[in-house]
Structures are given as C-alpha cells and as structure tokens.
Structure 1
Amino acid sequence: PQFVLVDTNTLQTLPKRILTEGWAEGLKHGLALDKSLLESFEKNASALKKLDLDVTTKLIKHSISIKAQKVTEDEFEKLGKRILLNYGHTIGHAIESITNYSSYLHGEAVSIGMMAAGHISLAKNLLSSDDLIRQETLLKTFNLPIQFENISIDNIKDRIVSDKKRTRGKVHWVLLKDIGSAMTNSEVTDSEITQALKNVSSV
C-alpha cells in the first residue's frame, strides 16, 4: 500500500460487539509478529477499551504498519512471510464456514483459532505454558471468546481439510514459537488438532 487513511473517530460509532472483534486483528499482529505491539496492548488495555484517541491511534498505526510490511515483502505469498498474518485463521475460517458466518464475527472466530493454535504450539514444545496463558489472558481482557460452542469437532476437522492454504495436500499451520514470533508448520498431527479443539470447546 502506498497510503492508508484511518479515521479513528469512527470507532466511537461502532456497536460494542463490532468494536470488540476488531481488537483481534491487532492482538494477532502482536502475538504473531511484534512483541512490542503486544506489550502495548497489555500496558494500555484500559485506555484502549475506553477508546482514548491518542493511545488508540498510535496502536492502530503500529498494527497497520506490521501488516503493510508483510504484504509488501511477500505480495503473492511466495516467501512464507505474508502467511504469518494468518495466525488463528485455519480454525477460525472453519468455524466461520460451518456456522455460515452467522454465529461468530471474523475476529471472534480468529480469537478462538488463535487459542487452538496456541495449544498446538504448546503441544509441539514451541510455546511455553506461561505464554499460552498470557495470550488467553489478553484475549479475555479484550472480551474476545476463547472457546466455541455447539459445533462438532469432527466438522471443524473436516472443514480444515479444505482450507485454502493447503499445499500438496498439507495444511500450513501458523504456530507460535514465542510471543511476537510465528512460524509455519505442516506436520501437525490429527491427535494434536483434536486435543487443541477439545481445549477450546465449551463442552
């Protein structure tokens, strides 16, 4: 992008649920790509939820710059950089699709997807349990869901198989190896997926 224009005053006009799900995008950027952004969310959570104009504008600018950088570096998703923006999207997209985009807003589904991906990251000894708790705490602080309900785990797994990010029959998962540092992994086992989904199911 050559130019991005954002009117943060518009945030004051949004319904609470729409505003809340929007935080997931910035949190995703912090969790997957920039630890300092995540720390800004943690430090300024109260001001952000009150829509303090200065704090909110600075944080949104930071978040947009992260996405713009990855898109610029890897416009056609050939270098393995832009895909890191999809943290939480593999399961998030499945949840949206199964519910016909009616039960969960995009950010809500991605929030749940990030928790599931975090559990897979933990299972693969990439992410520490403390950092998984840190992610969960922050998502809850911004009133984002961390569990799904009334969806079959098998249905989600079936939908993942048709994920658009598959290459040569494998799903490229975006996982965390640290806060602010994501990676791709195409060797996630069926049992790891099942357990992660159980961990984020309300049943």
Structure 2
Amino acid sequence: MALMKHRGLFELLEKEGRGLLESNFQGLEAARVSSRLAIESMLEELAPNLWEDQLDRLVDFGHIISPQLEMNVLPALLHGEAVNIDMAFMVYVSHERGFLSEEDKCRIIECMRSLDLPVWHSHCSLDLVQKSLRERIQHSAGLQRMPLPIALGQGGVCRV
C-alpha cells in the first residue's frame, strides 16, 4: 500500500526499513506506525468493496504475474517475494508507459533492495508474463486491469 496509496508509509520504510528488519519489527516506534499505516490503508481499499463488485482495485498491485511465477518456482519463492517481483516489474512497466518518473522508479527499486526483497527471478520470462496477462483478462471481466504506481504513494488502474 506504500507505493499505491501512502507516500508517508513508503518514506518511513525507505528511512527506517533496515532497522525494522534488524529489530524484527519489535520495540521501535517505526514498527508500530508502519504496521498501523499499512493496515489502515489496506482497509480503506478493501472495506468499501467487500464483494469485489469494483474490479479496478489498487490492492491487486503485485498480483498480475506473481500467481503464475509463484506456482512455477515453488518452494523457491515465498508468496511475498513473488509479489515483490511482480511489483518491481510493474514499476518498470509504469515507467515505460510514462506514468512514473525515473527518480521515483529508482527510489522504489532501491527501497525494495534495501529491504532484501527480490526484484527479479530467472523464471520471469516473456512467456510467463504473457500467460499471466491472458489469465488476468479472464478474471477481470475481459479487461486487463493493471494497477500501476504513478507517483510515490499514488496509484491508478490502467485498463487495456
């Protein structure tokens, strides 16, 4: 949610993320604040759409290619790692489409790396991406609904 909805949360993770990892999210004010902001921003997105009537969902960010990637490489990647690889890929897509600045793209990828999150996997092939996109269309009422970051803490859903 930091990338798609809450710039302050992103900046907190960017600044305090290493310390949060080293402390196992224990005993630091940043742990309490980051957890609260993440939960609140997720609930703001999910609560009004419990029945998923609205298919343009920011919470789907990270879930375009990750399901296929995760299934192809089990148990090599944890779910969150596959989601992060998907998010990193979509950061590049957003930049290439002209939605995300070079500076923001670099900050996001650097933040991911600083948190020891993978940003690529060798199984993330063109074939896998194409298959994932086709499957996404089947589950999105015939449209490719692609949540993309457009600035730090701001996202949108690109319909293709």
TM-score (norm 2): 0.88
In structure 1, distance between residues paired with 2:40 and 2:20: 18
Pair 1:45-2:17 in alignment: yes
Structure 1, unpaired ranges of 5+: 1-28, 188-203
> Which sections of structure 2, spanning at least 5 residues, go unmatched?
none
Which portions of structure 1, spanning 4 or more consecutive aligned residues, are displaced by more than 4 angstroms?
none
Q: How do 1:31-180 residues align onto structure 2 when only pairs under 5 Å count?
A: 31-51=3-23, 52-54=26-28, 55-79=30-54, 83-99=57-73, 101-163=74-136, 166-180=139-153
Offset, 1:165: 6.9
Following superposition, the deviation at residue 122 of structure 1 comes to: 0.9
Q: Once the two structures are aligned, what percentage of the paired residues are identical?
A: 21
CA distance in 1, matches of 2:124, 2:95: 23
CA RMSD of aligned residues (A): 1.9
In 2: Cα distance, 1:154 partner to 1:62 partner: 36
In the alignment, the residues of structure 2 paired with residue 102 and residue 157 of structure 1 have an alpha-carbon distance, to the nearest angstrom, of 22
Q: Deviations over 1:39-58 (max 9, x none)?
A: 11112123212224232122
- Asked whether the equivalents of residues 69 and 123 of structure 2 are also in contact (C-alpha less than 8 Å), the reply is no
Structure 1 counterpart SS, 2:3: helix
- Looking at structure 1, the residues matched to 124 and 40 of structure 2 have their Cα atoms a distance apart, in angstroms, of 35
* Structure whose alpha-carbon radius of gyration is higher: 1
* Change beyond 3 A, Cα 1:151–1:44: closer
Letter in 2 for 1:50: E
Between Structure 1 and Structure 2, how many residues are aligned?
157
Q: What is the CA–CA distance in structure 2 between the aligned matches of 1:178 and 1:84, rounded to whole Å? A: 13
| Residue identity matched to 2:96 | A
CA contact (8 A) 1:30 1:37 kept: yes
* Partners of 2:32 and 2:95 in 1: CA distance: 33
Task: Return the letter of the residue paired with 2:52.
Answer: E
Which of the pair has the greater relative contact order for Cα pairs under 8 Å at 6+ separation? 2
State the TM-score, normalized to the length of structure 1. Answer: 0.70
